[in-house]
């Protein structure tokens, strides 16, 4: 399933067309963009440990040097990276709809989009400008958009400046906001301009309040109901920005137990009317923001999206984008399984780690047993044919091999451990035997 999807998603004609339409500085000669994607995707998916290792495996098939590969990789423009994710995600969204593996809608009648930022981890100091710098070199950051119903990363807004504010990218996000959308985000996205501009586009938002946001209260804070988590209050407020006035609902959950960060209140702002979503529904929508955190966790733990040896910002952002594409392919596999075994069963029991571990372990041997030319038929399959093929394969999967390992609750330590400098070591065997 994974190999067939990679053949379809990374088909050369489509990738080279994306490059031709979006690249402004780079060009293609001996080394095609599709060849570069093929190499890096094997590294991102954990099939090969590095770009050098992947190049060595493919060197006989390529007519370019290793330096040419790295020069091409280091110059991939951010808009090309974004186009690869956005256009492949659009196709995979249709495939998910055809298979019927979507999750239940969070708010029927609305397109939900979850927005969050991701800063890439520090790289090695392989560039000359970094060798005399003691600070950790950050290769970039991005804003990522998740479609929670289809479980797909559908857009990315990359930025080469690792120290840039996320708010610098808001204008790009607003360019894709459409009427009927509901955008969910954390407090970092809570600015007057961003909220008002979303409302001006006939879209809605459910965004946690930033403590520095200025607003005018239109009503008193009123108790709505009491739930297990605490008390829910609501009030009407007004925002003013650039000559526009927008009336919002301010939902406050006063927690019965403070969070681990010491927060006693969770405050969420929305412009959804009460006829569409009451206060409890708004808080439930916001709680689903954790799904994008799960995306980042899967990409970080199961794929090589942050390759420390890729110090150039363009290369680092491109590798992270391909990791998001790999995540989407994994989501389609789980969608195929869900269409056969049930959405709830797959979401609650199937482990991303064990699925990816299986893929990484089997891939090399499979490619030896089945040469690449036998996979090319996947490039020409229609969405319906691909969906039927995936569902047929999903029906043969033994889910017991990929079950999540349930975690037991940790026992609280009775007292803090005290280090005795006179006894720096201890024999485990003696402790076990009671000596």
Identify the CA nearest to 102 among candidates 294, 384, 346. Answer: 346
Confidence at residue 206, expressed as pLDDT on a 0 to 100 scale: 97
Alpha helix segments (H runs only) across 217-312: 279-287, 290-302
Burial of 198 by CB count in 10 Å (0-12 exposed, 13-18 middle, 19+ buried)? buried
Q: How far out from the chain centre does Cα 358 lie? A: 21
Burial of 275 by CB count in 10 Å (0-12 exposed, 13-18 middle, 19+ buried)? exposed
Say which DSSP state 78 is in.
H
Residue 97 phi/psi, 5-degree rounding, is -65, -40
Confidence at residue 413, expressed as pLDDT on a 0 to 100 scale: 65
Torsion of CA 49, 50, 54, 55, to 10 degrees: -160
Confidence at residue 359, expressed as pLDDT on a 0 to 100 scale: 86
CA 379 – CA 359 distance, rounded (Å) = 20
CA 154 – CA 90 distance, rounded (Å) = 7
Confidence at residue 410, expressed as pLDDT on a 0 to 100 scale: 67
CA dihedral for 121, 126, 128, 132, sign (positive or negative): positive
pLDDT in tens, the chain (435 residues): 988 999 999 999 999 999 999 999 888 888 899 999 989 998 998 888 888 898 888 888 888 889 989 999 999 999 999 999 999 999 999 999 999 889 999 999 999 999 999 999 998 888 888 888 888 899 999 999 999 999 999 999 999 998 888 899 999 999 999 999 999 999 999 999 999 999 999 999 999 999 899 999 999 999 999 999 899 999 999 999 988 999 999 999 999 888 887 888 999 999 999 999 999 999 999 999 999 999 999 998 899 888 888 989 999 999 999 999 999 999 999 999 999 999 999 988 999 999 999 888 888 888 888 888 888 889 899 999 999 999 999 999 999 999 988 777 766 667 788 888 888 898 999 889 987
Identify the CA nearest to 147 among candidates 188, 105, 108, 176. Answer: 105
């Amino acid at each position: 399933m994974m190999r067939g999807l990679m053949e379809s998603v990374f088909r050369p004609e489509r990738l080279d067309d994306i490059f031709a339409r979006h690249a402004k500085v780079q060009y293609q000669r001996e080394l095609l963009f599709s060849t570069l994607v093929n190499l890096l995707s094997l590294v991102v998916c954990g099939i090969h440990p590095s770009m050098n290792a992947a190049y060595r495996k493919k060197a006989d098939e390529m007519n370019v040097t290793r330096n040419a590969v790295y020069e091409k990789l280091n110059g991939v423009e951010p808009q090309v990276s974004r186009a690869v994710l956005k256009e492949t995600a659009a196709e995979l969204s249709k495939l998910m709809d055809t298979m019927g593996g979507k999750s239940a809608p969070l708010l029927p009648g609305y397109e939900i989009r979850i927005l969050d930022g991701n800063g890439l981890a520090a790289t090695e100091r392989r560039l000359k400008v970094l060798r005399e710098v003691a600070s950790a070199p950050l290769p970039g950051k991005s804003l990522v958009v998740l479609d929670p119903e289809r479980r797909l990363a559908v857009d990315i807004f990359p930025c080469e400046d690792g120290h840039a504010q996320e708010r610098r990218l808001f204008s790009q996000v607003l360019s894709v906001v459409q009427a009927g959308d509901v955008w969910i985000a954390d407090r970092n996205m809570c600015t007057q301009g961003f909220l008002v501009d979303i409302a001006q586009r006939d879209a809605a938002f459910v965004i946690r309040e930033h403590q520095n946001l200025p607003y005018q209260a239109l009503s008193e804070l009123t108790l709505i109901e009491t739930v297990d988590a605490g008390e829910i209050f609501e009030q009407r407020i007004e925002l003013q920005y650039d000559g526009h006035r927008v009336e919002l609902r301010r939902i406050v959950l006063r927690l019965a137990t403070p969070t681990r960060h010491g927060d006693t209140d969770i405050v969420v702002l929305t412009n959804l009317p009460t006829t569409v979503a009451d206060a409890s529904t708004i808080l439930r929508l916001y709680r689903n923001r954790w799904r994008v955190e799960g995306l980042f966790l899967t990409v970080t733990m199961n794929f090589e999206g942050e390759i420390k040896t890729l110090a150039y910002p363009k290369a680092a952002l491109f590798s992270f984008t391909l990791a998001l594409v790999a995540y989407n392919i994994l989501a389609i596999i789980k969608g195929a399984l869900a269409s056969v075994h049930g959405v709830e069963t797959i979401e609650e029991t199937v482990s991303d780690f064990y699925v990816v571990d299986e893929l990484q372990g089997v891939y090399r041997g499979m490619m030896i047993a089945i040469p690449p030319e036998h996979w090319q038929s996947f490039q020409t399959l229609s969405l319906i044919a691909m969906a039927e093929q995936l569902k047929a394969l999903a029906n043969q999967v033994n889910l017991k091999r990929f079950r999540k390992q349930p975690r037991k609750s940790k026992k609280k330590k009775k007292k803090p451990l005290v280090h005795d400098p006179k006894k720096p070591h201890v024999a485990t065997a003696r402790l076990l035997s009671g000596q």
